[in-house]
Amino acid sequence: MSTPVRILLADDHALVRRGVRLILDSEPDLTVVAEAGDGAEAIALARTERPDLAILDIAMPRLTGLQAARELSRLLPGIRILILTMYDNEQFFFEALRAGASGYVLKSVADRDLVEACRAAMRDEPFLYPGAVTALIRDYLDRAARGGELPARVVTEREEEVLKLVAEGHSSKEIAGLLFISVKTVERHRANLLQKLGLRDRLELTRYAIRAGLIEP
């Protein structure tokens, strides 16, 4: 066997990093070479360490795991990426695939699975938990029914700013003041977000932002 797979591990909870590290380091073909507590740190470490594989939590400060994944794919084209998350959610699953991830593992079900996902990623095989397969098939059928256009809907930067502030509990008037724009424009961005994400009101926007790690609960 050749040298072990060099892994970058990013999660904002030291306890989780420690546990995952113990799990991975007990496998002879896997070794954790760097740990990051947020997305920005993950990118900085990836520049110097140049790992073979990055395991990224979605909900992290500064940069989310998905944002970090996009940046890492651009920076180190050969890198493999696994997204490790609490939430079984189609939206994030497809976002992860678009961001360059080759696997998606749930914290609630993973322990042995994580090791298998690492090996699958290095063999360039996708790793999908069972629920994700269902979502993938449903999406395929949906796209076929609609004639083949791909959704690829992405929240713009400005919209994400507004999303954060809405989810933090600011009123439209407050957000307008913070961003130096009119209340109407804030409401328009919010309406676009609701429509793009298929949500109903600012309460659902809040839950979305929490799942995405954009804000702390």
Q: List residues near its own copies by CB under 8 A.
A: 12-20, 22-23, 84, 86-87, 107-111, 114, 167, 169, 200-204, 206-208, 210-211, 216-217
The minimum distance between CB 4 and DNA, in angstroms, equals: 41
Q: Does residue number 134 form part of the binding site for DNA (CB under 7 A)?
A: no
Say how many CA atoms lie within 13 Å of 14 toward its Cβ. 0
Exactly one of 150, 182, 207, 216 binds DNA (CB under 7 A); that residue is: 182
Any idea what the Cα angle at residue 201 is, between residues 196 and 207, rounded to 5°? 85
Residues 113-118: contacts with CB under 8 Å, at least 24 apart: 114/20, 114/23, 114/24, 114/55, 114/82, 114/84, 115/23, 115/24, 115/27, 115/30, 117/82, 118/5, 118/7, 118/24, 118/30, 118/53, 118/55, 118/82
Binding part of the chain for DNA, among 39-47, 88-96, 117-125, 200-208 by CB under 7 A, reads 200-208
For position 188 contacting DNA by CB under 7 A, the verdict is: yes
Interaction of residue 33 with DNA, rule CB under 7 A: no
User: Is position 191 an interface residue for DNA (rule: CB under 7 A)?
Assistant: yes
Residue 110 C-beta: closest distance to its own copies, Å: 5
Closest CB 185 distance from DNA, rounded Å: 4
Q: Which two tokens stand for residue 115?
A: 């090791």
What minimum distance in Å lies between the beta carbon of 3 and its own copies? 24
Using CB under 7 A, list all residues that contact DNA: 156-159, 171-173, 179, 181-185, 187-191, 194, 200-203
